[in-house]
Chains A and B, each alone.
Chain A
């Protein structure tokens, strides 16, 4: 596009306030970590001046997946576990849209596990937020794959039997992974920084958001909330940069280069302290929608001609018998 059109476009750009991105009033419980995620994402939209008609939030089923209703952008509240395939379809047909995926620990790691693995491999340019509250919340407290062993829920009254799945190590183990990060919902500054980094990353950005559920698991994170040494802040010049306030409050810090996947896997296996920051980032991985891009617009006429040419190779012409 030449300079004239660019100037003209910039002339009519509108600036949106944070409230402009607010859709419905959230029905989440008071104290739910989803509110923090909503606030951070709305801040991102305002700071990046994302055009609402060019932004789409795709979700599956769960408390997390109420998200698209509360954003005044395009949204798709899909069926259980299928947020990712729908998001991939959106991205393939409209690569110009900003696509975000909101999914929960049940929606992604349980019923949607297969789509999760392959979405990582496709590495399409979108941002996926895993709202991990370690329980099935919307259906009123059942154990999820990420519930720690021994969690007492309606389906596991004597405590769950299996060790929790670690979404980070699973993600880091898939080919083509290009961005993996973990945040906790009670440090809003880091949450915002990581969401912003994920948005700017060109490729599939996976953020696991450790989230509180004050209704069903009110005491799960209490010890961690009040002891700042239970959180390990990962920082690096290629990763998260810590502000002074953060660095003073959270003393446990580790410098980790996001390019080092082996170290990332090691760090990701640790649950105490909880590692927070960007674990892995690789901007060089190609994006599927670009690899498959035909490069040229085709008309229906061209497609028809091409098909006819191909089929003609097998036609039998009875006149030349």
Chain B
């Protein structure tokens, strides 16, 4: 697992049933592109988050494939429909095989 990886997600706590909400996510990750060289001229190996998924109560909202061209600390903003109260599950898949998870509850009212 890469060091200092911390997912952050902003989801409203409440929504009307069927409302469209905006979700913002950020994860601290260096996203080493595999293009840079260190001081000895050797290429620093690629180490990025290659996939991000967001689900609500098991139904998919968005599935993003990230490439090395995504900036350090990948930020993603998207919209989701909230049909009922429930839980958002967010997952980030690292090149090294680790998966970072975060979830947020949302209530109707």
A, B bound: no
